Amino acid sequence: MNIQQYLDAVDRIDTYKRYGKVLRIVGLMIESQGPEANIGEVCLIHSSADKKPVKAEVVGFNHEKIILMPYTQVAEIGPGCLVEATGEALSVKIGRGLIGKVVDSLGMALDESKLPKGLANYPTEQSPPNPMTRKKISEPVQVGVKSIDSLLTVGKGQRIGIFAGSGVGKSTLMGMIARNSSADINVIALIGERGREVREFIEHDLGEEGLKKSIVVVATSDQPALMRIKGAYTATAISEYFRDQGFEVNLMMDSVTRVAMAQREVGLATGEPPTTKGYTPSVFAVLPKLLERTGTSKDGSITAFYTVLVDGDDMNEPIADTVRGILDGHFILDRKLAEQGQFPALNVLKSISRVMNKVADKEHQESAQELRRLMAVYEENSELIQIGAYKRGTNQEIDKAIAYHPKIQSFLRQDVNEYRSLDESIKLMKELLKGGV
């Protein structure tokens, strides 16, 4: 037995605990003199002997002083409180025992119950897979929503943005996808949600069946900015863990906009200059790192759905524009369609799936293109049709679009509890084009 390697390991162990002390707190930021620590390292702030230490993360330095941000509220912290370096970045406990659980950004059960035994420690920050080791996207994944499966088919390992203003049905659509999807496991991140909506989403939108194969990560809007950012990182890390086990994973994040807003808060607090619409440069550096972690790897795949909350329904605001450029497709939810009572309020003509041509057969693609063409013809001439200025028989294409319009509208509607398989959705679309449905 080679005992030397153990002796060398003992020699390398640092037996000292390093402490610093809190100097000042300004807004979100805690400034301390010492200890020795690196960016991203977790520190413990001791307020008194009888209270649990507050976890904080090193986010910057200022004239050899350390800038920390806490994961929780800082009401009991004052000048002179001891700051202890842990020497480690944030990690969470992950394993199959988490399936069916609702956890916070630090991986602790939200109902304050104990986590099951046998979970592994996993760092929340990882590098994206090497592009050369990523498998090509070649298989479709069932979403269970007719309009998506037939006209905007999603591939295993694709990353999709769901763009919408507030109150247009993003959460309801996510609940449908979670219940109806063919993926093995759902990881759902609710970032910056109202506290009221969390239980509502879990019980109403996700339901008991959906929760059985889901892990929900929650960081509500009242929590510090760092907790909202870490919620996104923790959910992504859980997805990566199961992908490495060979599972097909669905990651659903609502919403990536609130992650960007939290990063803006952190950036401004650490002295970054505001640039586009007040967003700091770190926001546009963090987004690609986070979004590129999902997708395919050599072991499995993460099919990711990120909701993007667009201010005033402006699809070209900075975060929406950046996210659309990173992802492999976008679904636009239209307020006008929602007001007309169409659910899901998906604007098919403005939406795109960039991998559909690689995962759908030729007949399916041709049917989808034909249906889109009929929708586009009707949309182009809708004003003339609605005011009665168009005379039937003038143009065969417009006549056909008018004849098919009610059938298409009926096909695009789907009740929240209605389930359709991928094959059923494609079959219904083909029957519609043959004059059925």
Distance of alpha carbon 254 from alpha carbon 172, whole angstroms = 11
Give the pLDDT score at 87: 84
Q: What is the pLDDT of residues 361-398, one digit of tens each?
A: 999 999 999 999 999 998 998 888 888 887 887 888 98
Give the pLDDT score at 51: 80
Query: Is it the case that residue 1 has pLDDT exceeding 60?
Result: no
Distance of alpha carbon 225 from alpha carbon 358, whole angstroms = 39
Give the pLDDT score at 219: 93
Band of the pLDDT at 4, cuts 50, 70, 90? confident
Band of the pLDDT at 63, cuts 50, 70, 90? confident
> Average pLDDT of the chain?
88
Query: Is it the case that residue 437 has pLDDT exceeding 60?
Result: no
The mean pLDDT value for 241-270 works out to 91
Query: Is it the case that residue 186 has pLDDT exceeding 60?
Result: yes
Distance of alpha carbon 107 from alpha carbon 275, whole angstroms = 33
Using the CB atoms, write b or e for 247-284: b if 16+ within 10 Å: bbbbbbbbbbbbbbbbbbbbbbbbebeeeeeebbebbb
Query: Is it the case that residue 74 has pLDDT exceeding 80?
Result: no
The mean pLDDT value for 80-85 works out to 89
Percentage, residues of the chain above pLDDT 90: 45
Query: Is it the case that residue 164 has pLDDT exceeding 70?
Result: yes
Query: Is it the case that residue 312 has pLDDT exceeding 70?
Result: no
Lowest average pLDDT, out of 4-8, 11-15, 322-326, 425-429, goes to 11-15
* Report field, pTM of the whole predicted structure over 0.85: yes
Give the pLDDT score at 313: 66
Start-to-end C-alpha separation, the chain: 75
Band of the pLDDT at 271, cuts 50, 70, 90? confident
